[in-house]
Amino acid sequence: MANQLQATVYQIDGSPLDAPVSISFLTSDIMIKEATIPNFASVNAAIFYYPNTNNKLQDQVFYVSETLSSLITAANTGSVTQVQATVIAINQDPQVPAGIQYTFPANNIAIRENIDAAAGINADIQYKNKVYSVAETESALVIEANIIGYIGGLFAQTANSTPITGTTTESTLINGGVGTLTVPANTFSVGDSFRGDFGGVLSTANNQTIRIRIKSGSTIFVDSGLQTINNVSNNVWSLSIDFTVRQLGAAGTASIVTLATFNYAKTVNGTVEGFSFNSVNNTTFDTTINNTLDVTVQWGSANAGNSIYSDIFILNKIY
Q: What is the pLDDT of residues 204-242, one digit of tens each?
A: 999 999 999 999 999 999 999 999 998 889 999 999 999
Same domain? For 301 and 213 the reply is yes
Whether residues 156 and 125 share a domain: the answer is: no
Task: Label residue 58 by pLDDT band (50, 70, 90).
Answer: low
Range of the domain at 217: 152-317
Residue at which a domain ends, from 114, 145, 176: 145
Looking at 96, 125, 145, which one is the last position of a domain? 145
Of 177, 85, 73, 179, nearest to 125 by C-alpha is 85
Say yes or no to pLDDT of 49 above 80: no
Alpha-carbon distance of 72 to 82, in angstroms, equals 7
Q: Which of 103, 119, 145 is the last residue of a domain?
A: 145
Whether residues 174 and 310 fall in one domain: yes
Count of domains forming the chain: 2
Residues 222 and 281 in one domain: yes
Q: What is the pTM of this model?
A: 0.69
Same domain, 163 and 225: yes
Regarding whether 261 and 179 lie in a shared domain, the answer is yes
Amino acid occupying residue 40? F
Do residues 138 and 163 share a domain?
no
